[in-house]
Amino acid sequence: MRNTLIIMPAYNVEKEIYNLLFEMQNYRNNTIIVDDGSTDNTFQIIDSLNYNVIRQDKNGGVASAIRIGINYAMSNGYQNAIFMDSDGQHSPKYIDVFIKMLEKYDFVVGNRFHNHTTAPDIKLGSNLLASIIIKKISGQKYNDISCGYKAIKLNEDLRLSLDKSNGYSLVFDLFFYALNHNYKIGTIDMEAVYDYSTFLMTRKTELLAFISALELHVSNGLLEKLCINDLKDKVLERRDFIYVIDNITFYGFYIRERDGYIVQSDPIKLRAYLNIES
């Protein structure tokens, strides 16, 4: 554990972070929390539990917070990093699993969309759309591209490459970095945790972050073949879209009041895709 640092961006999570950090006390000395300009009591709660915290005056976004965490890790001699959300969606019970898998793999990712997933169909759509696009590009099948619960071996080249990341695109940039550098990638099946009291959808910014990562890491010719520019134009214009790939049709319905999309497809085909071996 002494070679691995847990990096947790935190922004206005006063309702969730106390219980999470209380469960993680055994890992306190190997955790850094980046309070990304919270305006509630997030910082006070972190401080009261004696966790290491870097407090930002202004909200810089998840990419900025993770870069700060990586810089801290490398400056303090850590060789690996585990990235966790601070809103309770990522269970601490997997920390030791990540650490163990880093002995064998260069990059380890959480997988909420597996054979026995409890994720609702409304979340399968957008996530498996990204998965299938990645499979077409790389020839490798990973069901959960957008899970923020990840671990990676650190190096200077990785740190510099993430300087180009902006906002939520960093989650995808990490994946592309691992793919493009032939990292040995492992996955950990885990539960899908969603707040069903809220409106489940995919934010427009999340779709654009994925497209931004594609534009940064994939050739223009392949992007054109996959009709990514057409998809981007519709999302930028806040229009509904239809996207067909591998004989699966995805329908994106824009919800103006939420500035996001409900992405749907044939649930039988999506569940069948989950059961296909990599």
Per-residue confidence (pLDDT) for residue 1, from 0 to 100: 67
**CA 145/CA 13 separation, integer angstroms:** 24
Listed as ranges, residues in the chain with pLDDT below 50 are none
Per-residue confidence (pLDDT) for residue 193, from 0 to 100: 81
Per-residue confidence (pLDDT) for residue 278, from 0 to 100: 52
Per-residue confidence (pLDDT) for residue 40, from 0 to 100: 96
pLDDT tens digit sequence for 173-231 = 999 999 999 999 999 999 988 776 778 899 999 999 999 999 999 999 999 999 999 99
Supply the pTM of this predicted model. Answer: 0.93
The identity of residue 161, as a single letter, is S
Number of Cβ within a 10 Å radius of residue 97: 16
Contact call for residues 228 and 93 (beta carbons, < 8 A) = no
Q: Could you tell me the residue ranges of all domains in the chain?
A: 4-199
Retrieve residue 210's tokens: 């994925």
Number of Cβ within a 10 Å radius of residue 114: 17
Which residues, at least 6 apart from 233, have a Cβ–Cβ distance to it below 8 Å?
none
Per-residue confidence (pLDDT) for residue 164, from 0 to 100: 82
Closest C-alpha among 128, 120, 118 to residue 191:
118
CATH superfamily of 4-199: Spore Coat Polysaccharide Biosynthesis Protein SpsA; Chain A (3.90.550.10)
